[in-house]
């Protein structure tokens, strides 16, 4: 196994994880005739492709050089959400007095126990992505480094033994992405963490700096601040979460500040240096002025870069660049026999996006594509969520994107401070915003900032996907009290906009004539 992911500390839970997703005693199959489909990479895109194709009866090989489950299971979605939940529980206990609950002593974190819980749950979930499960599904699972030997063949160098030659009729590149290393002066002179190592911490850092205020950066900034670290969040651009709705990002930023996170936006340039006793000195200038901080740990969260090393794509005639494998709308590469899906070939680097890109690949790679039969990635409507508290979720266009693309919109906002459930739960710091195509109730974009914003966005995504207008949502009964009822009230807002002054006068006239009628 390579050094991509280090399972530390190597306790019973990480041993269980390893035995599921890269067993020590695994023996690769002996390839004979060509596979109908070879999948390179066992992250989300690769796993969904392999399982789906095998379920349709195809002869499938799956090749993984490190841990099955990829980034999401091992160093992404799964471990981060475990720690986010621990942070949420801590925050709620610290606010218990506001709900009339008295605690004998202040809530404190047992960092070792929280990390052990994360490792235990990660290992429990890992059976879904395990080598044995996929073998039971009829997939030939190989561990080793895959390299293209030609347009229809691979060479696999296993952990042990000599290289194996595998032939294929179709192939899928699903090798994912990893943390990008930014060009910051002195970064190569200090020890730093990425998402691939932060979940191996065994001691809570007293002072933590995070470079990069995208979703990973802001989520972990809030988590470690809630855990008790003194956190500084450094961002080169003028605001955090710069892809998101500015009002939503500003609300999240204020929440982080209220929880003790020091935020330095416009932090460029920066200089890093070792400060003795394992500490790191970070100097620079932000919009607020010069800063000079010393921290115990540094987390770099400045984006992702595709995993293309050692694949020898040129031998297969596959075009690529710094952003990843080049694909068309069918997810096909410059080699018509080879497709790509997931983070290695898309700017939408989300687990759920990789899942649905894999479904596109299965149909386009295994079935003859007629004039109306091809599945296109441009047809996907992909929501996203940042799992801070409150959560920030987005689907479709933001206001800025609507302006850039020339789409005229009408925007409606429902503050959660007017939602009874949010008021009762003390989670009224948020809003739901929808953008309608001007002159209609067609939803073209939505932003949710709410306790469970990642769940609430799904109703709006479903409406957009199926062209259900906001007026129809207004006519759909929602349970009371729920935060989702705020979406229905947006429909009421839209219906009120249809009451023009003339329509209002006509209704009043009609009501006068109807008064007293049986």
Report the chain (518 residues): mean pLDDT per 10 consecutive residues: 68 97 95 95 98 97 97 97 98 96 93 98 98 98 98 94 96 97 95 96 98 98 98 97 97 98 95 94 96 97 95 98 96 98 96 97 85 82 98 97 96 98 97 97 98 98 98 97 97 86 68 62
- What's the pLDDT at 443? 98
Sheet with 409-415, strands from edge to edge, namely: 384-386, 391-396, 443-450, 431-437, 409-415
Class of 33-68+139-179+305-379 in CATH: alpha beta
pLDDT of amino acid 1: 41
Place of tokens 């049986």: 518
Quote the pLDDT of residue 19.
97
Closest CA to 234 of 293, 161, 178: 293
Which are the contacts of 472, defined by CB distance < 8 A and separation ≥ 6? 441, 463, 491
Q: Where in the chain is the domain with CATH 3.50.50.60?
A: 33-68+139-179+305-379, 187-302
- Return the number of other C-beta atoms located less than 10 Å from residue 102's C-beta: 6
Q: Which two tokens stand for residue 352?
A: 């759920």
Q: What CA–CA distance (Å, rounded) separates 430 from 186?
A: 39
CATH topology of domain 187-302: FAD/NAD(P)-binding domain (3.50.50)
Where in the sequence of the chain do the CATH 3.30.390.30 domains occur? 390-501
Give the integer Cα–Cα distance in Å for 191 and 269.
19
Cβ neighbours around 420 below 10 Å, total: 14
The topology under which CATH files domain 390-501 is: Enolase-like; domain 1 (3.30.390)
């Amino acid at each position: 196994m390579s050094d991509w992911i280090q399972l530390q500390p190597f306790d019973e839970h990480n041993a269980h994880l390893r035995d599921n997703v890269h067993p020590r005693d695994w023996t690769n199959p002996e390839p004979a005739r060509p596979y109908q489909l070879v999948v390179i990479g066992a992250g989300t895109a690769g796993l969904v492709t392999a399982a789906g194709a095998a379920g349709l009866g195809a002869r499938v090989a799956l090749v993984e050089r490190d841990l099955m489950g990829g980034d999401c299971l091992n160093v992404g979605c799964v471990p981060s959400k475990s720690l986010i939940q621990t942070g949420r529980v801590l925050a709620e206990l610290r606010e218990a007095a506001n709900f009339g609950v008295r605690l004998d002593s202040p809530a404190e974190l047992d960092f070792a126990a929280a990390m052990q819980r994360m490792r235990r749950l990660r290992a429990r979930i890992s059976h879904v992505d395990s080598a044995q499960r996929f073998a039971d599904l009829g997939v030939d699972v190989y561990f080793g480094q895959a390299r293209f030997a030609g347009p229809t063949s691979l060479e696999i160098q296993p952990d042990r033994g000599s290289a194996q030659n595998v032939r294929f009729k179709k192939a899928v590149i699903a090798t994912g992405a990893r943390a990008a290393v930014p060009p910051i002066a002195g970064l190569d002179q200090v020890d730093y963490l990425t998402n691939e190592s932060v979940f191996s911490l065994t001691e809570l850092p007293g002072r933590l700096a995070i470079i990069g205020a995208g979703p990973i950066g802001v989520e972990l900034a809030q988590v470690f601040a809630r855990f008790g670290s003194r956190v500084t969040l450094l961002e080169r651009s003028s605001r955090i979460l710069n892809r998101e709705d500015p009002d939503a990002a500003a609300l999240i930023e204020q929440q982080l500040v209220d929880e003790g996170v020091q935020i330095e936006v416009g932090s460029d340039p920066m200089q890093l240096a070792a400060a003795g006793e394992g500490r790191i000195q970070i100097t620079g200038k932000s919009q607020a002025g010069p800063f000079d901080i010393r921290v115990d740990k540094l987390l770099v969260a400045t984006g992702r870069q595709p995993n293309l090393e050692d694949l020898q794509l040129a031998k297969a005639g596959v075009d690529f660049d710094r952003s990843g494998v080049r694909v068309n709308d069918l997810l096909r590469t410059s080699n018509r026999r080879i497709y790509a899906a997931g983070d290695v070939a898309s700017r939408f680097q989300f687990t759920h996006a990789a899942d649905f890109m894999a479904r596109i690949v299965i149909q386009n790679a295994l079935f003859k594509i007629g004039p109306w039969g091809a599945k296109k990635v441009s047809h996907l409507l992909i929501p996203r969520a940042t799992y801070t508290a409150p959560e920030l979720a987005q689907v479709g266009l933001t206001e800025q994107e609507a302006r850039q693309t020339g789409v005229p919109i009408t925007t409606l906002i429902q503050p959660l401070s007017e939602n009874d459930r949010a008021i009762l739960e003390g989670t009224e710091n948020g809003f739901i915003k929808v953008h309608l195509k001007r002159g209609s109730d067609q939803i073209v974009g939505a932003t949710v900032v709410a306790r469970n914003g990642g769940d609430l966005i799904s109703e709006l995504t479903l409406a957009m996907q199926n062209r259900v207008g906001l007026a129809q949502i207004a006519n759909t009964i929602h349970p009371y009290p729920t935060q989702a009822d705020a979406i229905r009230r947006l429909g009421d807002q839209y219906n009120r906009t249809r009451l023009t002054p003339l329509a209002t006068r006509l209704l009043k006239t009609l009501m006068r004539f109807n008064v007293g009628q049986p």
